[in-house]
């Protein structure tokens, strides 16, 4: 079955977070979310979500740069290439350097479209094997240690299988110390979002006392060599997030000994094609992977669920319930997490969740159609 791609519809919606989310690089209270919908000549469509943030602080992309790249390059290049399968979108867009979140929004939408046309749930279409995925939570920096402890208590009561907390210099060891005093056994990890340098090596080595599952992205994204030096000095496994944009990055990180675990994010690597290459590489080399999050709406969340069903996603991801983020999600039903801290992969075709088009339309602040014909 060949696709005849007709257009990309871009829409921006505004969605306030229930609680502001703070990391070492900044604070987000309200998401500006780009939804990319790809249409086939038959009238069928698929949904993708651009995971770029509002500001270029996690990586270089923003929702506005992604919009410019999709309208000015992704659309025209796909139109020229006459791509007729989701698996070819990635290579057709190869000429566009970087900007993977822009490309990934459209690439993922094309997979949803193709899975819907095939009448299969996206997760099965991608080759997923697990009908239920393991869920953890990512907890932002809190006002106080008490607030953090209360938040962790609530998430554990909800059943989440592991706790990740954000750290930054000056708010790190003390938080882990407090959590471990109360919860000696809970699966626990920290995420620094690149806030440290090798000058902090003695401080980072102190984490070894707390039996953490991993420390996520301690150093600057491009510094694979420094991560390797750090990993050789600490026992806690390093997990890379921002550093891994492609399977080539995964290979080099592995060969250098820069990490023991990889956080795989669909948008950061440019879509399902590259994500599967990384997943395969990690599976072949016994590197545990798990699915990261970017404070997605239900569309991005549904794609994350699909990806998480692939073999090798052996650790709980940052894919949690819609209700942790939004008063009302744009998908129906919302993503729910069981008391055992799991999420069921849906059996309906494509992403498997109905998009509440009425709600989306009521939230649209900007739109553009990009022709692929």
As measured in angstroms, the least distance from the Cβ of 259 to Mg ion is 12
* Given 40, 134, 241, 296, the residue binding Mg ion (CB under 5 A): 241
State which residue, 107 or 241, has the beta carbon closest to Mg ion. 241
Residue 295 in the binding site for ligand OSB (CB under 6 A): yes
* Given 136, 218, 293, 312, the residue binding ligand OSB (CB under 6 A): 293
Told to judge if 151 belongs to the known catalytic residues of this protein, a careful annotator would answer: no
Residue 300 in the binding site for ligand OSB (CB under 6 A): no
Residues binding ligand OSB: number (CB under 6 A): 10
State which residue, 192 or 306, has the beta carbon closest to Mg ion. 192
State which residue, 140 or 298, has the beta carbon closest to Mg ion. 140
In the sheet that 5-23 helps form, which strands lie side by side, from edge to edge?
45-50, 26-40, 5-23, 364-371
CA distance 161 to 135: 6
* Given 39, 58, 281, 326, the residue binding ligand OSB (CB under 6 A): 58
As measured in angstroms, the least distance from the Cβ of 191 to ligand OSB is 5
Residue 296 in the binding site for Mg ion (CB under 5 A): no
CA distance 138 to 214: 13
Residue 292 in the binding site for ligand OSB (CB under 6 A): yes
Neighbours of 268 (CB within 10 A): 25
Q: What is the end-to-end Cα distance of the chain in Å, rounded?
A: 18
Q: Which stretch binds ligand OSB (CB under 6 A): 102-110, 151-159, 251-259, 289-297?
A: 289-297
Q: How many CA atoms lie within 13 A of 148 on its CB side?
A: 25
The residues facing 166 across adjacent strands are 191
Residue 231 in the binding site for ligand OSB (CB under 6 A): no
Binds 46: which of ligand OSB, Mg ion, none (CB < 5-8 Å by kind):
none
Residues between 146 and 205 that touch Mg ion (CB under 5 A): 191
As measured in angstroms, the least distance from the Cβ of 259 to ligand OSB is 14
* Given 24, 59, 135, 193, the residue binding ligand OSB (CB under 6 A): 193
State which residue, 196 or 353, has the beta carbon closest to Mg ion. 196
As measured in angstroms, the least distance from the Cβ of 28 to ligand OSB is 7
Residues between 308 and 327 that touch ligand OSB (CB under 6 A): 318
Strands 5-23 and 364-371: antiparallel
Enumerate helices (H) and strands (E) in the chain, giving the number of each.
Answer: 13, 15
Which position among 166, 182, 229, 344 bears the catalytic label?
166
Which residues make Cβ contacts (< 8 Å) with residue 216, sequence separation at least 6? 164, 189, 190, 191, 192, 193, 238, 239, 240, 241, 263
Per-residue tokens: 159: 């059943």
State which residue, 119 or 222, has the beta carbon closest to ligand OSB. 222
The residues facing 99 across adjacent strands are none
Residue number closest to Mg ion, CB atom = 241
Q: What is the largest CA-CA distance in the chain?
A: 61
CA distance 308 to 300: 12
Told to judge if 344 belongs to the known catalytic residues of this protein, a careful annotator would answer: no
CA-to-CA separations, 82 to 3, 7, 13, 87, 92, in angstroms, rounded: 9, 12, 29, 13, 9
CA distance 136 to 164: 8
Residue 191 in the binding site for ligand OSB (CB under 6 A): yes
Do residues 334 and 120 lie in contact, with contact meaning Cβ atoms separated by under 8 Å? no
Which residues are the active-site residues? 166, 265
Chain residues in the site for ligand OSB (CB under 6 A): 58, 138, 191, 193, 241, 292-295, 318
Which residues contact Mg ion by CB under 5 A? 191, 216, 241
């Amino acid at each position: 079955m060949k696709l005849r791609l007709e257009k990309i519809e871009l829409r921006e919606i505004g969605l306030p977070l229930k609680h502001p989310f703070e990391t070492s690089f900044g604070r987000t209270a309200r998401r500006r979310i780009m939804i990319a919908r790809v249409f086939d000549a038959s009238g069928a469509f698929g949904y993708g979500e651009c995971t770029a943030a509002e500001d270029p602080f996690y990586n270089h992309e923003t929702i506005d740069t992604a919009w410019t790249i999709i309208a000015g390059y992704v659309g025209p290049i796909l139109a020229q290439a006459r791509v007729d399968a989701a698996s070819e979108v990635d290579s057709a867009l190869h000429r566009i350097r970087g900007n993977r979140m822009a490309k990934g929004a459209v690439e993922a939408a094309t997979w949803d479209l193709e899975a819907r046309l095939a009448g299969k749930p996206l997760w099965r279409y991608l080759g997923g094997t697990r009908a239920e995925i393991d869920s953890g939570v990512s907890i932002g920096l809190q006002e106080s240690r008490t607030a953090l402890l209360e938040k962790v208590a609530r998430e554990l009561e909800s059943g989440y299988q592991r706790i990740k907390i954000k750290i930054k210099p000056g708010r790190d060891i003390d938080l882990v110390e407090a959590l471990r005093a109360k919860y000696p056994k809970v699966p626990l990890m920290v995420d620094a979002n690149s806030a440290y340098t090798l000058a902090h090596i003695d401080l980072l080595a102190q984490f070894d006392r707390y039996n953490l599952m991993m420390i996520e992205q301690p150093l600057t994204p491009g510094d694979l060599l420094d991560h390797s030096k750090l990993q050789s000095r600490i026992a806690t496994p390093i997990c890379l997030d921002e550093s891994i944009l492609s399977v080539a990055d995964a290979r080099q990180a592995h060969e250098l000994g820069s990490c023991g675990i990889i956080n795989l994010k669909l948008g950061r690597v440019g879509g399902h094609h590259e994500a599967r290459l990384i997943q395969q590489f990690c599976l072949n080399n016994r590197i545990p992977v798990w699915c990261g999050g970017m404070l997605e709406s239900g569309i991005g969340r549904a794609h994350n669920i699909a990806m998480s069903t692939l073999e090798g996603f052996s650790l709980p991801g940052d894919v949690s319930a819609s209700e942790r983020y939004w008063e009302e999600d744009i998908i129906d039903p919302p993503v729910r997490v069981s008391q055992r801290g799991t999420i069921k992969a849906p059996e309906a075709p494509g992403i498997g969740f109905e998009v509440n088009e009425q709600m989306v339309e009521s939230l649209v602040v900007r739109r553009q159609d990009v022709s692929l014909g």
